[in-house]
Amino acid sequence: MASELFRTDLPTTSVRRRASLLPFSIAAHVAVITIAVIGPRMADGELPPPNRALPFAFTGVELPPPPPVVLKPTTSQQTETTSPDKAPITAPTEVLPEPAIEIGPSLTTDQSGDDGGAPFGMTGGAGPPVAALPPPPPPVERTPVRVGSGIQPPRRVVSVTPVYPQAAQAARIQGDVIIEALIGEDGKVRHAKVLRGVMLLNEAALTAVRQWVFTPTRLNGEPVAVIMTVTVVFTLN
């Protein structure tokens, strides 16, 4: 068969087809030879026996019981002479009177204040003087609020009519005097000034307004001082 591969009288197509089969033919021969040579050697030996589990036995070990715990009674170290302030362990057989309290030289048993005029048992001239209490802080004054920004004007409860000046009457002067008044928390006028008025009528208007009394104005439930303007009208009949 191999001699046919190298023949030159065969057609070109047949030669190419046979040349492509040459590697397969060689591989087949090698496989057959290998099986024939190595196969019997591998079949003669025996396989090793499989691993087996080793026998294992557990023997329980008994531990000796722990020794019993013996609680020793605690004895109190307190005795009658240890401390007189500690509570006694046993009930007393009789109730003893309390020891008397010694009073120092600056104290006396007389609480009426007759000893040197010092009250509460303090002797006159003995011991440091008692410091006087500081005066209470002055009341905090709130800033006055102006009527008009959500604040209703107070109502006048006491009104004094201004006195018409004789000089103004003789000169036949009349007109309006506009006054800015500061009304305190109690409703009384604390301060007043003329914003616009008439020369001979201003002082009479201020004198009357300073005597007016208004209802106290409250803001969030607390009285406050307010600033408002009032108008005093002078007219001749």
Quick one: tokens of 191? 């301060």
- Is 46's pLDDT higher than 90? no
By CB atoms closer than 10 A (0-12, 13-18, 19+), residue 153 is middle
pLDDT at 127: 57
Quick one: tokens of 149? 């920004």
pLDDT at 181: 95
Neighbours of 118 (CB within 10 A): 18
145-234 has which CATH code? 3.30.2420.10
- Give the whole-number percent of the chain exceeding pLDDT 90: 31
Q: Tabulate helix, strand, coil % of the chain (nearest 5).
A: 20, 20, 60
Q: Can you say whether residue 13 is alpha, beta or left, with left for phi > 0 and alpha for psi between -120 and 50 degrees?
A: alpha
Q: What is the mean pLDDT of the chain?
A: 76
Quick one: tokens of 138? 């002055």
Predicted TM-score (pTM) above 0.85: no
Per-residue pLDDT tens for 66-83? Answer: 888 877 766 555 555 556
Bridge-partner residues for 218, per DSSP? 223
Distance CA 161, CA 212 (A): 9
Distance CA 114, CA 160 (A): 58
Distance CA 233, CA 237 (A): 13
Helix (H) or strand (E) holding 148: none
Say which residue, 142 or 68, is predicted with more confidence: 68
